[in-house]
Amino acid sequence: MNIIIFGAPGVGKGTQAKILSQKLNILHISTGDILRDAIKNQTELGKKAKEIVDKGELVPDEIVGEIVKETIRSPKCKNGFILDGFPRNIHQAKILSSILNEISNSEPVIIKLVANDDVIVKRLSSRLICSKCGNILNENEVSDNFICPVCKAKNSYYRRSDDEESVIRKRLAIYHQTTAPVLDYYQNKARIIEVDGTLSIEDVTKEILNKLE
């Protein structure tokens, strides 16, 4: 099964992608992760991407698409994949359609997680992240001399600079302008499943699995 997970920043795409990857036995492809891996491993595409990143520029859609293509072609994706972070615009969606037509001649299932902007702002602006292991908690769960329940580090939780309200709203504006229209592209090309992203993590997963059946 090939899946693309969509939704605004902070709606829970990465969390659900990891869970679904395990439950469906398919690879979770985070485009940010595979891009960093390509650069770290100094692949040919990784070298090209690094040159661009080092200049402070964005990696072109075509290079990101080629890295995604390499990943989808790998044996790890023999059972399918769940794609998180790509496509982010219509140009990338067309690139992905070309890749899938070449490899599997099929369009993916689209999972759209929905949440109101104000809910997302409240969720993101109240989260804290462990600097040691990356675990995320709500600020209400963290107190003085707090010990991380995952890695046991002490006083390691902090708020990311991009979790300030003004930054979050700017990210949401970009999403609505460039990424949300991708769903229009897929209207007649793929099955689209819509799920309320404000539910608990467990309920969102349950809803997705029920609708996939």
Reply yes or no on whether 78 is catalytic.
no
Catalytic residue among 18, 36, 88, 122: 88
**What is the residue extent of each domain of the chain?**
2-115+177-212
Q: What is the pLDDT of residues 170-198, one digit of tens each?
A: 999 999 999 989 999 999 889 999 999 99
CA distance 168 to 188: 31
Beta bridge partners of 158: 129
DSSP character at residue 89: S
Catalytic residue among 40, 73, 152, 160: 160
DSSP character at residue 134: -
Catalytic residue among 48, 112, 123, 127: 127
Arch. (CATH architecture) of 2-115+177-212: 3-Layer(aba) Sandwich (3.40)
Q: What is the pLDDT of residues 21-35, one digit of tens each?
A: 999 999 999 998 999
From the CB of residue 8, how many other CB atoms can be counted at a distance below 10 Å?
24
Reply yes or no on whether 69 is catalytic.
no
Reply yes or no on whether 123 is catalytic.
no
Q: Which two tokens stand for residue 161?
A: 């600079």
Reply yes or no on whether 73 is catalytic.
no
Sheet holding 127-130, edge to edge: 136-138, 127-130, 157-158
Residues of the chain predicted below pLDDT 70: 105
Reply yes or no on whether 13 is catalytic.
yes
